[in-house]
Every structure is written in C-alpha cells, then in structure tokens.
Amino acid sequence: MKDWLPAIDSHRQTLAYKKGETIFEEGMPVKGIYFLNRGKVKIYRKWGHQKQLILHFAKEGDIIGYRGLANESIYPVSAMALEPSTLCFVDTVFFETTLRVNNELTYKLMQFYSNELQYAERRMRNLAHMDVKGRVAETLLMLKKDFGENKEGIINITLTKQDLASFAGTTYETFFRMINEMAKQKIVRLSGKEIAVLKARKLKELSTMK
C-alpha cells in the first residue's frame, strides 16, 4: 500500500482531526482521497440516525475515501477519527491525473479494490447466514489480524462495545452478552476496553459454518 505514496507525494496537504471528528460523510461531494499518517479511523454506512454498519477500521498507512473514485462523485460512506489522527489529503483531480499516466499505480489500486470487494462480499454472506456469535468471533479474529496484539496479547485497538457491535452487525446488548459469554469460557480476556484472544482456535470454530 505504501508503494503508491511517493507518486502523489508532492501535492499533499496535511490535516489533523480530533477524536470523534468527521472526516467526510456519506452524501457529501468527493473532493479528494486521504492517506492516514497517524491515528485510527472508522469507515461506516449509516442507517437512520442512530444505527450504522462499520465497514472497516483504518490504521496508519491506509488510504481512505477511495470508495468515492467511482462514477458517482459522492461519498458512499462516512469516516470518523477514533483517536487524534493526521491525514494527508490529495485532491481528486490530481490523483486521477496521476492514475491516468501511472499505469502501475492504477493496476495496484485495481487489485486493491478487487481484494476489498472479496472481503465485502464475504462479510455480506456472513451477515446473511452466520449467527451473531460467529460474527463476533470473526470480528475479534479480524481485529487481531489487522491491528496485532501487544506482549500481553491485547489487541492493539481501543474501541467502544458499541463500535464493536456495529462492526459485527449487531446491537450493543447482544454483542455484550456474546463477548461476555466468551470471557466466561476463557476464550477471550476482557479488562475495560482491552480485549485479548486466548483461544483463537475456538473463535475460528465458532465462525465456521455448522
């Protein structure tokens, strides 16, 4: 992913966001693409005013806003900083010009989209058929894989239970019950917002079709 940064290195503009600040919102016109230098960001789609489905948690090095590079020039998703974050912004016109002349970059981005599409469609299938406990299990495995864990085995991302639930595609209450049950069975260890996976094998099992 980092490989394409040099190509647009010149035209960048650095922006800082506080925790809870919105970077862009679905329905807003696309102005450019963002690269996350520092911090963590959630990408989500809203449903009504209260509900949302979190599609992705972005970390340092990730690009954000690429979903807007389609025909529609409107963001199909929203992005909010989960901690103080620094992003560099490249306006669409320049980015697209770069893509037009840099075939390698375009090819990489295309492959990247292809992977994202695979991931989205797998999750779609899971939302349709996997039970909530399975989705909670998968959520934890995904976070562990994407963000890693420290020496104590604690996953390197701090999230509210509500955000975890919105990522798993369920309600806060149900998520809480599920993860609590897993804690009782010593599959995970919880302490405040810290989560450690103790039995990855068991989680894998829970997220496998029965």
Kindly list the residues in this chain that would bind a copy of itself in the complex (CB under 8 A): 45-48, 51, 53, 55, 66-67, 69-72, 76-77, 99-101, 103, 106-107, 109-111, 113-118, 120-125, 127-130, 169, 209-210
Question: Is 48 an interacting residue with respect to DNA (CB under 7 A)?
Answer: no
What whole-number distance in Å separates Cα of residue 140 and Cα of residue 4? 30
d(CA 173, CA 158): 19
We find the least distance from the C-beta atom of residue 29 to DNA, in angstroms, to be 27
Q: Cβ 192 to DNA, closest distance in Å?
A: 6
Nearer residue to a copy of itself within complex by CB, 93 or 107: 107
Burial of 139 (0-12, 13-18, 19+ CB in 10 A): buried
User: Least distance (Å) from a copy of itself to the CB of residue 209?
Assistant: 5
CB of 15 to DNA, least distance (A): 18
Which two tokens mark 144? 């562990």
Strands 13-17 vs 85-91: parallel, antiparallel or unpaired = antiparallel
Query: CB of 87 within 8 A of CB of 34?
Result: yes
Which partner from the list DNA, a copy of itself, none does 177 bind, CB cut-off 5 to 8 Å by kind?
A: DNA
Residue 21, classed as helix, strand or coil, is coil
Which residues sit at the interface with DNA, rule CB under 7 A? Answer: 19-20, 131-133, 160-162, 169-174, 176-177, 180, 192-193
